Structure 1
Amino acid sequence: MMDARCPQTYAEVLDTLFENYPELCACEAEVRAAASTVLGSFRSGGKLLVCGNGGSAADSEHTVGELMKSFRFKRPVDPAFADAYREANGAEAPSWLEGALPAISLVSQTALSTAFGNDEAAVGVFAQQVYGYGEAGDVLLAISTSGNSANVVEAAKVARAKGVKVVSLTGSRESALTGLSDVCVRVPRDEVFRIQELHLPVYHALCAAVEAEIFGGAGE
C-alpha cells in the first residue's frame, strides 16, 4: 500500500534506513551498493530474480510484490504504452494499470519446482529458473540467513555464468554466498529469526529507493 505521507527520494530512503536501524550501519556500504546494482539493472531494461527458502521464500514474494505494483509512489504507465493501448483497443488504458519494476519470485513456480526436484535434482530448482529466465544485465537477489543454502548457492553459480549480477542477503558470518556475490549484505546478526528481522527493512528500503528514483517525478 502506498504511503499516505510525502514519499522520500532515493537518498532519503537509504538515509532513513540507517537512522531507524543503526545496527545496519555495519553493512551500509553494501546496502547502498545493492540498491545501486538493482537500480542500474532496471534502468538498463533488466529484471530482478529473487529466491530463498522458508521465511526467505516469503521475503522473496514480498519483495516482488513491492516492485511489481505501486509501493509508495503512484506509478503511471509509460506514455508510449498508453498510446499503444489506445491504438490497439480504441480506448484509454484502465486507471488501475500501473508502472511495474519487472521482478520474478523463483519460489512461486510450484509445478516447475516440484517437477524439476522430482525428475532431476531438488538442489537445482532455482538454478534451472535462473538459467531459463536470466539474461546479462539482470540481478539475482539471493536470500539465505546462513548464506549456504544449497539451492540458493547453485542459483548464484548459474547467475554468474549467465552474466546476471548477484546481490545476496545473509547473516553476519562468512558463507558460500560471500564469494559468489557481486554485493553481499551481511546483516550483523547470527540467529535465523533475528537475521530475518533485519532482512525485511533492507529489502523494503531497496524497493522504496529504486521506486523513488524511477517513479518519483512521474506524477509531476
Structure 2
Amino acid sequence: MEPVLEQMIRKYPEMEICLPDIGMAVELLHRTYANGGKVLVCGNGGSASDSEHIVGELMKGFMLRRPVNDSVRTRLNEAFPENGNYLADHLQGALPAISLVSQSALATAFINDVEPDMVFAQQVFGYVNEGDAVIGLSTSGNSKNVLHALQVAKAMGAHAIGLTGRSGGLMNGVCDTVIRVPYDSTPDIQERHLPVYHAICMMLEEAFFTS
C-alpha cells in the first residue's frame, strides 16, 4: 500500500473499503496527466468548495516543492532577460485542473438562458478533450448537474470519477470509478471526502514532481 494511503487508513480505518476505487482514480488521473491532459472538477454546496480545494492542491506545490525545469527557465530568460530568473524562481510545476463552480458569469447566463441542470455539462463540453478527466462530487451520487457533466465527459472520451456516499447513487452507472465513503449523512460524507482527495493529490504530486 502507498505510504500516503497507509497514513489515511491509520486516521480513518473505516475508509479501507475505498482503497481499490481510490487506486483506480489515481491510475486514471495519472494517465490523464502523463498524456498531457487536464482535470475538470464540479460539485454543489460544500462539494463546490471541495472542487476549488482539489484544484488548489493540483495547480501548485502541495506537499513538495515543484521548481520549474531548466528548459522553462531558459525560455523565460530568453524572452525576458531582465526578470526571467524572477519568473522562474516564483513559478511552480502544475497539474492542470479547472474548477467548474466559480465561473459565475457563464454559470448564471446558462442557468437563466438554457437549463440549470446542464451548467456543468456545458462547461465540460467546452473544455474537455479525449483522455482528460472529470471529477464529480455529490454526497448522494444523484445530483443532476454533476451527473450530466459526467455523462458528457464519458461521451467525449474522458475519464469520469465520482466521489459520493455509501450507495453511490446514479453515479454507479456513469463513472469509470466511484469512491463511495461508508457514510450516509452529508456532513459525514464530506468530512471523509477531504482525506480521500488529499491522498489522491499527494500521490499524483509524488508521481510527477519527485526527482
* TM-score bucket of the superposed structures, by smaller chain: over 0.9
The percentage of counterpart residues that share the same residue type is 48
Structure-to-structure mapping, 1:1-220, within 5 angstroms: 11-90=2-81, 91-92=84-85, 93-217=87-211
Residues 77-133 of structure 1: per-residue CA shift (max 9 Å, x gap): 133222211111113234121111100000011110000000111111100010000
Q: Which amino acid is 2:142 matched to?
A: N
Q: Which runs of 4+ in 1 moved over 6 A?
A: none
* Cα 1:15/1:192, change in 2 over 3 Å: same
Question: In the superposition, relative to structure 1, how do residues 182 and 80 fare at CA in structure 2: closer, same or farther (>3 Å)?
Answer: same
Higher relative contact order (CA 8 A, sep 6+): 1
**Judging changes above 3 Å, is the alpha-carbon distance between structure 1 residues 122 and 63 closer, same or farther for their aligned structure 2 residues?**
same
Task: Determine if contact 1:51/1:60 at 8 Å carries over to the other structure.
Answer: yes
SS of the residue aligned with 1:207? helix
Residue 20 (structure 1) shift: 2.1
Looking at structure 2, the residues matched to 22 and 48 of structure 1 have their Cα atoms a distance apart, in angstroms, of 28
Q: What is the distance in 1 between the residues matched to 2:10 and 2:25?
A: 18
**TM-score, normalised with respect to structure 2:** 0.95
**Cα drift, residue 19 of structure 1:** 2.5
Cα distance in 1 for partners of 2:29, 2:168 equals: 23
Aligned residues: 208
Q: Do the aligned residues in 2 keep the contact of 1:14 with 1:32 (CA within 8 Å)?
A: no
RMSD: 1.2
Whole-Å Cα distance in 2 between the matches of residues 174 and 38 of structure 1? 20
Matching residue's letter, 2:153: A
Deviation of the 1:175 alpha carbon: 1.2
Q: TM-score, normalised by structure 1?
A: 0.91
In structure 1, list runs of 5 or more residues that go unmatched. Answer: 1-9
Q: For the Cα contact (< 8 Å) 1:166–1:181, is it kept in 2?
A: yes
How far apart, CA to CA, are the structure 2 residues paired with 1:214 and 1:14?
17
